[in-house]
């Protein structure tokens, strides 16, 4: 096996906020400490593991947020989805924290041994993975080694040189300091107390002695590092439906503040779609408030979409256009209706750049005015003028191609006006001087119409009016030009 392990040193903070100057804090009893590096004004940063008291001494006005393990898990899952297409299995792990002031380690590992030939070797594969992660805002370190523990250790120390052979592991790891292993502080002090500083020293100790003095966990860890012991894992598979949740810090009314989590969620969504090799045309955004029912915002694309930007664009448009009327506490993004990804869709996008722009713009307008705000005039299969038309859905380029050449429904032979009133309006008796067109229909569906239509002058306009044969009343229904 060959593992590529990605380590995300700042994930504990990135899952909660984009602001690197906010301290994300873990607590245990009275202990409180930073779980991610904290940016300090001068371009320096305080290391993860710094106690809150120390951090406060440096930065008295420090903003704090509690650690959110659930958000971390979700962010980690989304990152795992991103690498899903590079190999299998994919494993997402959070290690620790084992004790106060220890820093959790967030990792995603993908077994790449089987997909090396597909990508043309380690280097192109590594490039592709890093490229895929660029779209995300997470900072990552990576390592490549025959065992997951070793790959993680290389990632942790920032050694990107791949270690491809099991036999080379011992040599590669020997020079690494013991402190880079995720060991309990007491054990580490014990090891350092007997003069052991580097992994190499541990490897060369007789195993029986090591077992006796420092216990089985350490011995097992060394075996796993050297790929001599199986590393159990739970491979993650994308779930059949997509659901992302984001809890806001407090109640948010400002839309700008909602954009960061929305961007994150759409990135997760895109990663999910990519992991499952599917596309999607609709999703649902839910804004949860402290009180009352959630605001549900269904969103629709005109053609299947996978790109995070496209979803983000329409979400943003919609929120600016119709801001929630109450403060928002939580965000959910859901989708459960997926389409298989076909080669032709990708090709379609490549060749129709202009139509793609047009589509993106129409989606933006639809998000802005609601689905009812955009329509296409179409014929209705009925002789009653008010039902001889309908507001058809906006056609995509593909639909256009399909319907081109299809003959329209047989329309009335008699002339029809260009404008129709939304509702016929009663008018005073006009004096028509033309022959009527009689429309007598609808007796079967409870809205019967028996009318005589005329074209008359009405004020300065040429009007389409009818006399209801039952009530003998006149109505204005359309205007000719």
- Per CB under 8 A, residues contacting another protein are 321-323, 325, 354, 357-358, 360-362, 364-365, 368-370, 372-380, 385, 388-391, 394-395, 400, 403-404, 408, 411-412, 415-422, 432-434, 455-457, 459-463, 478-481
- 68 dihedral zone (left: phi>0; alpha: psi -120 to 50; beta): beta
Contact at 8 Å (CB) between 303 and 396? yes
Q: Is the CB of 334 or the CB of 352 nearer to another protein? A: 352
One-character DSSP codes across 263-286:
HHHHHHHHHHHHHHTEEEEEEEEE
In angstroms, the CA 44 to CA 19 distance is 15
Q: Is the CB of 63 or the CB of 381 nearer to another protein? A: 381
What DSSP element (H or E) covers 397? helix 397-403
Q: How far is the CB of 299 from another protein (least distance, A)?
A: 16
In angstroms, the CA 308 to CA 302 distance is 15
Q: Is 272 exposed, middle or buried (0-12, 13-18, 19+ CB in 10 A)?
A: buried
Q: How far is the CB of 385 from another protein (least distance, A)?
A: 8
Q: Is the CB of 216 or the CB of 353 nearer to another protein? A: 353
Q: Is the CB of 18 or the CB of 381 nearer to another protein? A: 381
Residue 286, phi then psi, degrees to nearest 5: -115, 130
Q: How far is the CB of 386 from another protein (least distance, A)?
A: 9
Q: Is 127 exposed, middle or buried (0-12, 13-18, 19+ CB in 10 A)?
A: exposed
In angstroms, the CA 146 to CA 149 distance is 9
Q: How far is the CB of 286 from another protein (least distance, A)?
A: 19
Alpha carbon 15 to its chain centroid, in Å, reads: 13
Beta bridge partners of 124: none
Q: How far is the CB of 469 from another protein (least distance, A)?
A: 21
Q: Is the CB of 114 or the CB of 399 nearer to another protein? A: 399
Nearest 10 degrees: Cα torsion 140, 143, 146, 150: -90
Contact at 8 Å (CB) between 125 and 112? yes
Q: Is the CB of 189 or the CB of 402 nearer to another protein? A: 402
Q: Is the CB of 168 or the CB of 480 nearer to another protein? A: 480
Q: Is the CB of 71 or the CB of 287 nearer to another protein? A: 287
Q: Is the CB of 90 or the CB of 476 nearer to another protein? A: 476
Contact at 8 Å (CB) between 129 and 111? no
Q: How far is the CB of 425 from another protein (least distance, A)?
A: 11
Q: Is the CB of 124 or the CB of 426 nearer to another protein? A: 426
Nearest one of 240, 246, 403 to 328, comparing CA atoms: 246
Q: Is the CB of 135 or the CB of 386 nearer to another protein? A: 386
Q: How far is the CB of 434 from another protein (least distance, A)?
A: 7
266: its two tokens: 């759409």
Whose tokens are 């012991």? That residue is: 229
62: its two tokens: 């420090």
Q: How far is the CB of 333 from another protein (least distance, A)?
A: 22
Q: How far is the CB of 370 from another protein (least distance, A)?
A: 6
Nearest one of 238, 315, 4 to 130, comparing CA atoms: 4
Contact at 8 Å (CB) between 425 and 476? yes
Q: How far is the CB of 456 from another protein (least distance, A)?
A: 6
One-character DSSP codes across 152-219:
HHHHHHT--S----HHHHHHHHHTSBGGGS---HHHHHHHHHTT--BHHHHHHS-HHHHHHHH-HHHH
Q: How far is the CB of 461 from another protein (least distance, A)?
A: 5
Q: How far is the CB of 408 from another protein (least distance, A)?
A: 7
Provide the pairing of β-strand 449-458 with 437-441.
antiparallel
Q: Is the CB of 342 or the CB of 412 nearer to another protein? A: 412
């Amino acid at each position: 096996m060959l593992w590529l392990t990605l380590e995300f040193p700042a994930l504990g903070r990135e899952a909660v906020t984009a602001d690197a100057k906010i301290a994300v804090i873990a607590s245990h009893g009275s202990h409180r400490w930073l779980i991610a590096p904290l940016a300090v004004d001068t371009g320096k940063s305080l290391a993860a593991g710094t106690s809150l008291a120390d951090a406060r001494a440096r930065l008295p006005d420090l903003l704090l947020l509690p650690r959110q393990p659930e958000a971390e898990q979700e962010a980690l899952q989304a990152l795992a989805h991103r690498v899903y297409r590079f190999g299998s299995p994919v494993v997402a792990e959070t290690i620790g924290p084992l004790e106060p002031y220890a820093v959790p380690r967030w990792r995603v590992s993908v077994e790449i041994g089987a997909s090396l030939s597909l990508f043309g070797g380690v280097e192109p594969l590594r490039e592709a993975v890093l490229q895929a992660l660029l779209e995300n805002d997470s900072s990552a370190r990576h390592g490549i080694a025959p065992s997951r523990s070793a790959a993680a250790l290389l990632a942790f120390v920032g050694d990107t040189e791949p270690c491809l052979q099991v036999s080379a592991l011992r040599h590669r790891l020997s020079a690494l300091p013991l402190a880079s292993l995720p060991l309990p502080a007491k054990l580490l002090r014990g090891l350092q107390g007997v003069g052991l500083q580097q992994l190499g020293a541990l490897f060369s100790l007789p195993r029986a002695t090591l077992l006796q003095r420092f216990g089985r966990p350490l011995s097992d860890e060394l075996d796993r590092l050297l790929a001599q012991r199986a590393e159990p894992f739970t491979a993650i598979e994308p779930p059949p439906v997509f659901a992302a949740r984001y809890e806001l810090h407090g109640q948010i009314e400002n839309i700008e503040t909602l954009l960061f989590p929305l961007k994150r969620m759409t990135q997760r969504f895109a990663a999910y779609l990519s992991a499952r090799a599917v596309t999607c045309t609709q999703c649902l955004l839910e804004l949860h408030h402290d009180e009352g029912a959630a605001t549900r915002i269904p969103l629709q694309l005109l053609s299947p979409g996978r790109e995070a930007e496209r979803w983000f664009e329409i979400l943003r448009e919609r929120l600016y256009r119709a801001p929630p009327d109450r403060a928002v506490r939580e965000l959910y993004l859901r989708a459960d209706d997926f389409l298989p990804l076909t080669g032709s869709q990708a090709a379609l996008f490549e060749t129709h750049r202009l139509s793609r722009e047009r589509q993106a713009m129409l989606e933006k307008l639809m998000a802005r005015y609601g689905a009812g705000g955009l329509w296409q005039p179409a014929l209705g299969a009925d002789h009653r003028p008010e039902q001889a038309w309908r507001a058809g859905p906006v056609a995509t380029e593909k639909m256009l191609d399909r319907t081109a050449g299809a003959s329209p429904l047989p329309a009335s032979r008699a002339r029809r006006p260009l404008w129709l009133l939304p509702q016929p309006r009663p008018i005073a008796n006009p004096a028509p001087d033309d022959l009527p067109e009689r429309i007598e229909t609808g007796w079967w569906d409870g809205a019967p119409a028996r009318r005589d239509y005329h074209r008359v002058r009405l004020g300065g306009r040429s009007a389409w009016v009818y006399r209801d044969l039952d009530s003998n009343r006149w109505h204005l229904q359309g205007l000719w030009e």
